[in-house]
Amino acid sequence: MKVRTLLALLIANTFMTLSAQEGKFGFIDFNATLRRMPDYIAAEATLRNIQTEYQEELERSKREFERQYIEFMLEQDHLSPSIVAKRQKELQLLMDNNAQFRDDVQHQLESKREELLNPLKKNLLQAVSEVCTEQNLDYVVDTGKGTYLYINQDRGVDISEPVCIKLGIEKKVEKVVESGQPVINANNKEE
């Protein structure tokens, strides 16, 4: 496994070295730029609201199961074997339904996330393409993936800000607080 990883890194590094000699490249952290888009912030808020609604329903179902289970445990000594078996089947069915609902919720949240974010990703890719055409770049490296060990910034062009401008995103504003750490808020406005 380590040999494959080392070989893949060696091939990628060789490709980057050869490509850097032959063409001009740009680099951008795709996901960081995506998170700066105002529509991304709205999409995440929508997803959080949906997730909260589902979580409330999951909690309600869990409480209902627990209530019925406790009732069953308290009554089972006084019930006939056939009623005990029937109640156990009911509890098992309820537990299975809750598990299925939890799986369905996860699938629906993933689908909704794709539905909301795919148009944003498409817009971002279009802006990247336009900036690359304008700046005569041959290719772009996504620095957010962490697969490149080194990028010579003297030979490459950071296209993050031109892409944000193309998308109409406000320039990133950083403010250094007393701790010495920069603070960037979600709306890219100074805090």
Domains of the chain: 2-183 (3.30.910.20)
Instruction: Look at residue 7 and tell me whether its pLDDT is greater than 80.
Output: no
Locate 77 and state its tokens.
């000594």
Residue 186 sits at φ, ψ, to 5 deg, of -65, -30
- Average pLDDT value for residue range 155-170: 86
Instruction: Look at residue 39 and tell me whether its pLDDT is greater than 90.
Output: yes
Is the backbone of residue 27 left (phi > 0), alpha (psi -120 to 50) or beta?
A: beta
pTM as predicted: 0.64
Residue 158 pLDDT grade (very low, low, confident, very high; cuts 50, 70, 90): confident
Locate 109 and state its tokens.
């949240």
Question: Is the Cα dihedral 152, 154, 155, 156 positive or negative?
Answer: positive
Instruction: Look at residue 13 and tell me whether its pLDDT is greater than 80.
Output: no
Q: Which of 48-57, 79-88, 115-124, 141-150 has the lowest mean pLDDT?
A: 141-150
Cβ-contact 27, 140 below 8 angstroms:
yes
Identify the top-confidence range among 3-12, 97-106, 160-169. Answer: 97-106
Q: What is the CA radius of gyration of the chain?
A: 26
Q: Give strand pairing partners of 175.
A: 183
Q: What is the pLDDT of residue 93?
A: 95
Strands 182-183 vs 175-176: parallel, antiparallel or unpaired: antiparallel
